[in-house]
């Protein structure tokens, strides 16, 4: 489970305690993939090991695909705005903007913004993009013309440590930077450091005031009032878990060779 990453979206369905829920298989999809995420409309996105992007609806039916064999490893699929998915290819510092049909609208080379080593991205309001520049150790905000409209100072000085950022999440007018060993660094939109939250995860999802993440095959929820609470244990199989996601009232788990959709049931 060392490579487990949680990308989580919950809308109308909220889990409250681990003891009240069980899972039952709704659908199995044979697929060899490495990445899983979802948007707020219920669509699910899977990246195959050959870097092909496949989109499924909430019932597990394939609705669109996209593949580019020239940009290298597809590391991240950003779907905060489901009408404008962004694909991130870090080896070539390339962003590919798609439309809702997964057709290419634009391609951006981050070298044009003098960003030499971007490692993770996130969509922001007003069609802007957050970038973590590992070469300069700075968080940067780019506009649609790839101008840097805001950047922090050197985070090694600000944080008194060298961060290893694995995800960026914009939520509640704040920017959260995940470091699986040091915690979550919280900044405001002006790039000012606020505090560090003691959650050690490679990836998180925010639901209102909650931060939700995976540890030891269990989904946890954190907020400043209730701190850490276990929500749901992931179904165990002989296959290795690659990714897990909750999409409305359904749990999706990406294993080595299949994607399984589970219905989440309340135990009476």
CATH at residue 32: 2.120.10.30
What does the pLDDT average to over 216-225?
A: 77
pLDDT of 45 reads 96
Tell me: the pLDDT tens digits for 147-179? 999 999 999 999 999 999 999 999 889 999 999
pLDDT of 19 higher than 50: no
For the chain, what is the mean pLDDT?
A: 87
> Could you tell me which residues are beta bridge partners of residue 233?
218
CA 15 to CA 5: how far, in whole Å? 19
**pTM, entire model:** 0.87
Q: Is the pLDDT of residue 225 over 70?
A: no
| Residue numbers of the domain that contains 220 | 5-266
Rounded Cα distance between 31 and 52, Å, is: 11
| Burial of 188: CB neighbours in 10 Å, binned 0-12, 13-18, 19+ | exposed
Q: What domain count does the chain have?
A: 1
How far apart, in whole angstroms, are the C-alpha atoms of residue 146 and residue 128? 9
97 pLDDT tier (thresholds 50, 70, 90): very high
Whether the pLDDT of residue 140 is over 70: the answer is yes
Q: In this model, does residue 11 exceed pLDDT 60?
A: no
Confidence of residue 31 (pLDDT cuts 50, 70, 90): very high
pLDDT confidence tier of residue 227, bands split at 50, 70 and 90:
low
Query: Token pair of 245, please?
Result: 């996601």
């Amino acid at each position: 489970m060392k490579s487990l990453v949680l990308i989580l979206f919950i809308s109308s369905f909220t889990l409250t305690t681990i003891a009240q829920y069980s899972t039952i298989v709704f659908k199995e999809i044979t697929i060899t993939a490495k990445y899983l995420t979802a948007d707020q409309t219920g669509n699910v996105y899977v990246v195959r090991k050959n870097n092909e992007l496949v989109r499924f609806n909430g019932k597990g039916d394939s609705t669109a695909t996209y593949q580019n064999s020239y940009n290298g490893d597809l590391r991240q699929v950003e779907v905060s705005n489901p009408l404008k998915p962004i694909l991130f290819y870090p080896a070539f510092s390339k962003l590919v903007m798609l439309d809702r049909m997964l057709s290419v609208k634009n391609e951006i080379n981050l070298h044009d913004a003098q960003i030499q080593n971007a490692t993770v991205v996130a969509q922001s309001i007003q069609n802007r993009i957050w970038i973590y520049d590992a070469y300069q150790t700075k968080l940067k905000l780019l506009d649609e013309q790839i101008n840097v409209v805001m950047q922090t100072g050197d985070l090694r000085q600000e944080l008194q440590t060298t961060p290893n950022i694995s995800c960026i999440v914009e939520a509640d007018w704040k920017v959260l930077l995940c470091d699986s060993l040091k915690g979550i660094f919280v900044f405001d939109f002006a790039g000012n450091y606020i505090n560090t939250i003691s959650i050690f995860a490679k990836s998180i999802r925010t639901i209102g005031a909650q931060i939700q993440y995976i540890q030891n095959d269990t989904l946890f929820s954190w907020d400043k009032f209730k701190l850490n609470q276990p929500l749901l244990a992931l179904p165990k199989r002989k296959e290795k878990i690659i990714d897990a996601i909750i999409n409305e009232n359904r749990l999706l788990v990406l294993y080595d060779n299949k994607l399984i959709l589970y219905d989440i049931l309340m135990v009476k």
